[in-house]
Amino acid sequence: MSTEVSPSIVNTAAAPPVAPEPVTAEVVRPSPAPSPWRFGLKALLGLMAACSVQFAAMSYLGVLAGFVAGVVVCFAAFTAIIVIGPFLTDERARLVPQLDVMIVRLMLAIVILIFASIISGGGTAAWHVLSRIQTERLIEQKLGLSLKPVMIDHNQRIETGLLVESITGGGAAHQAGLQKNDVVLIGGTVAEYLQTLYENRGKEVNINVATGALSKSVESCPQRTVTLAIPR
């Protein structure tokens, strides 16, 4: 009796795939963009510093002279950098990029200086006007009168005088003998004359007065000297 053996079946199925090795990667996060507020704050601080320096210079030297001084300083530094640059040797050639940066900053400083001068000039002018107005009010309150600048004919020249518009009864001006429509001969600017009166508080000051100087020359008007006691 023969025995039939079935052929063995070979498993030809593919072997399971080999798992790939893990790949590691480093995540690089982009640096945050510079905040516009940071640049704005730096520009604002720079403008404030320039305005402060220019305000001090204009108050001490005058508006025009202070502006000219600031521009001269910036252009002097700008010229010095341009002159020094070509004479740098090979060893110091690395300083050229730094000089370029300084030139850009100086040009920016000149632009800022112009705006600072405009702002400071307006502030200086406003400061002088406010100081003059405050001095006028203090003098008028202490003397008990109201003054108005007028143009008068004095020594064949047109000068500025102070017209007494009103007098307060019992005040220092009334006690000194000043009258309404008198013209005080100041011999200079109104601001300088009022400042002189303000600085002489608590003292007696002689002032020259002309009556009727609005309609005719001072020489043809009655004149007198009044001793004014300025209260503190």
The tens place of each residue's pLDDT in the chain, 232 residues long, gives 455 555 555 555 555 666 667 666 666 666 665 554 555 666 667 667 766 776 777 777 776 777 778 778 777 777 776 776 666 555 565 666 666 666 676 677 667 667 766 666 666 667 777 777 887 888 888 888 888 889 998 888 888 899 999 888 888 888 988 999 899 998 888 888 888 888 888 899 999 999 888 888 888 889 999 998 888 8
Nearest residue to 132 via CA among 194, 85, 40, 71? 194
Cβ contact 177:199 at 8 Å: no
CA-angle at 76, arms to 72 and 77, nearest 5°: 125
pLDDT at residue 198, rounded to an integer: 85
- How far is C-alpha 77 from the geometric centre of its chain's CA atoms? 22
Q: Where on the phi/psi map is residue 168: left (φ > 0), alpha (ψ -120 to 50), or beta? A: beta
Q: What are phi and psi of 98, to 5 degrees?
A: -65, -35
User: Are 220 and 153 spatial neighbours (Cβ–Cβ below 8 Å)?
Assistant: no
Alpha carbon separation from 209 to 87, 115, 176, 227 (Å, rounded):
70, 46, 12, 11
For residue 209, the model assigns a pLDDT of 92
* pLDDT at res. 183: 92
Report d(CA 5, CA 188) in Å as an integer: 142
d(CA 57, CA 65): 8
Q: Which amino acid is at 124?
A: T
- The Cβ of residue 111 has, within 10 Å, a number of other Cβ atoms equal to 11
Any bridge partners for residue 163, and if so which? Answer: 148, 183
pTM for the predicted model, two decimal places = 0.49
Predicted local confidence at residue 23, as pLDDT: 64
Whether 166 and 180 have beta carbons less than 8 Å apart is answered as yes
* Closest to 69 (Cα-Cα) out of 56, 82, 84, 79: 56
Give me the residue label for tokens 């009044």. Answer: 226
SS (H, E, C) 23-47: CCCCCCCCCCCCCHHHHHHHHHHHH
For the four alpha carbons of 28, 34, 38 and 42, in that order, the dihedral sign comes to positive
How far is Cα 6 from Cα 4, in angstroms, rounded to an integer? 6
Stated as kind and residue range, the H or E segment containing 223 is: strand 223-229
- Report the pLDDT value the prediction gives residue 228, as an integer from 0 to 100: 87
